[in-house]
Structure 1
Amino acid sequence: MTPTSSSSSFHPALLVSKIKTHVPITLEMENVQYTNWAELFKDEKATEPTTLSQEEQELWDTLDAVLVQWIYSTISTDLLNTVIEADVSTMTLWNHLRDLFQDNDNSRAVSLEHEFNNTYLKDFSWVSAYCQYLKTLSDQLKNVGAPVSNNRLVLRMVGSLTPAYKGVASVNRHKKVLPPFYEV
């Protein structure tokens, strides 16, 4: 994002007082939602301008500091302790986080696949908690480049239901076209 003009030392981004309203996800290493988290920050392609007046440079520095604080306030404490550094630019911080989450996609995918395939309703107090957990694992797999199809997600869900849900499992398994996960 670039300053709007040399005659104005104000940018609309400075009006945002609660970034969590716009980015409600807390980025964590354990619950990988990097792609979703990063998407919430995207607005326009940010490029650092090459030549700026003194006033524009001051605005740019202010915006950069605000964005760094936004990022810091939307990541977990453990992740913050990993990436925090003095006088870091937004671009350096952004790239460091991207590298942390995208450099280990394959190992995360293996771990998440194992967890996805070994999740059973009997391990949860509520059906809704079980379904939400499977959906979260599915989203995390998508975020590391190993998406789970709707059919696989539905089959996994109904395949590990308890005997009390035998009818639901049977009806859904025998459909020619499986319904969307949220309907099941």
Structure 2
Amino acid sequence: MEKDQYETWAELFCIHARSNRVMHHIVPSTGQEPPAVTDAKHEQWSTLDAIVLQWIYSTISTDLLSTILEPNSTALEAWKCLEDIFQDNQNARAVTLEQEFSNTRMEDFPNVSAYCQRLKMLSDQLRNVGSPVNNHRLVLQLISGLPEAYRSVATLIRQSNPLPAFYQACSMLTLEEAGMAKMANTRSHAAMHTTQPRPTEDTSQRGYRRPNNRSRSREIQGHGGGRGNRSAPQTGAPNVPSPWSTPPWQQQQQYSAWQPWGWAMPPCLYPTSQWTRPAGPPKQPGILG
């Protein structure tokens, strides 16, 4: 009773009844009145009517079933009772449905399909209460309730002469909605790629440059590590005589007068015996002669 689905249920039930040739059990017609009790066809008619009544009871909600359930009821009585529940006071219902139909906006629905279905359901209910809505008015109400994002497609539909059918207009809006969703998805992916954080730079190595051999040699010389500064005293070092405190030419004269390599001559093994210094190797001419 609260979902306003009576019109849909009634239409589907009539289709099912016509397909089984029992439509006269819910809509009496001329020549197909219920047979008399004494008639031989009464038993067959009662069996079919009970089947139709069972279809009605099994396809409605529990609250409606408890409202219309009566002993020894027929399918026609149950059908009329449901019709009175949903279609009585047609004028008052028509006023309420007209207000709801005119105030329907797409902002109140999750998508275009739900919006179009609601308008179609309201138009069907207005037709059932004696206030039918033609296609022209339905399409105009459809585009008048659209938000600003659908202004271009609404203008296209409005300027069409004649106006397209309601289903065609709904299809155009659905395609427009799909295109807008795809465009928004593409923009979100592009924004995500542009806003990804860059890898964090290691600030501990910032400004560090590996020195080359020339700068390294300069640093060594500046700190007293070069060849020309080997005699420079180190700060805080003990006063120990350095082997490089004497120039190389004096070291050669000090250790050996004839050794070109500056090696000291070992002492004599027998100091009491007469010992003569062996002759050194012949000097070889240098590269420049």
Bin for the TM-score computed over the shorter chain: 0.7 to 0.9
Once the two structures are TM-superposed, the CA of residue 144 in structure 1 deviates from its matched residue by 1.4
TM-score under structure 2 length normalisation: 0.49
Once the two structures are TM-superposed, the CA of residue 173 in structure 1 deviates from its matched residue by 1.4
User: Is 1:106–1:144's contact at 8 Å kept on the other side of the alignment?
Assistant: yes
The structure with the largest helix share of the pair is 1
Query: How far, CA to CA, are the matches of 2:58 and 2:2 in structure 1?
Result: 12
Match of 1:52 among 33, 36, 39: 39
| Greater RCO (Cα-Cα under 8 Å, separation 6 or more) | 1
1:34-113 to structure 2, matched below 5 A, reads 36-37=11-12, 39-40=14-15, 41-42=17-18, 43-44=23-24, 45=29, 46-50=32-36, 51-53=38-40, 56-113=41-98
User: Is 2:106–2:115's contact at 8 Å kept on the other side of the alignment?
Assistant: yes
Q: Which residue does 2:110 correspond to in 1?
A: 125
SS of the residue aligned with 1:58? Answer: helix
Match of 1:157 among 142, 146, 149: 142
Match of 1:179 among 164, 172, 177: 164
Query: How far, CA to CA, are the matches of 1:111 and 1:67 in structure 2?
Result: 33
- Look at both structures and tell me which one has the larger radius of gyration over its CA atoms: 2
SS of the residue aligned with 1:183? Answer: helix
Once the two structures are TM-superposed, the CA of residue 30 in structure 1 deviates from its matched residue by 2.7
- The farther-off stretch of 36-45 and 135-144 is 36-45
User: Is 1:28–1:79's contact at 8 Å kept on the other side of the alignment?
Assistant: no
Residue type of the partner of 1:98? E
Residue type of the partner of 2:145? S
User: Is 1:72–1:80's contact at 8 Å kept on the other side of the alignment?
Assistant: yes
Q: Which residue does 2:4 correspond to in 1?
A: 30
Q: Which runs of 4+ in 1 moved over 4 A?
A: none
- List per-residue Cα deviations over 1:50-98 (Å, max 9, x = no partner): 2413xx3332322221111111122232222211112212222222223
User: Is 1:29–1:79's contact at 8 Å kept on the other side of the alignment?
Assistant: no
SS of the residue aligned with 2:166? Answer: coil
- Structure 1 spans left out of the alignment, 5+ residues: 1-26
Once the two structures are TM-superposed, the CA of residue 29 in structure 1 deviates from its matched residue by 6.9
Q: Which residue does 1:14 correspond to in 2?
A: none
User: Is 2:140–2:158's contact at 8 Å kept on the other side of the alignment?
Assistant: yes
TM-score under structure 1 length normalisation: 0.74
Match of 2:124 among 130, 139, 153: 139
Q: Label 1:108 to 1:153 Cα distance change in 2 as closer, same or farther (>3 A).
A: same
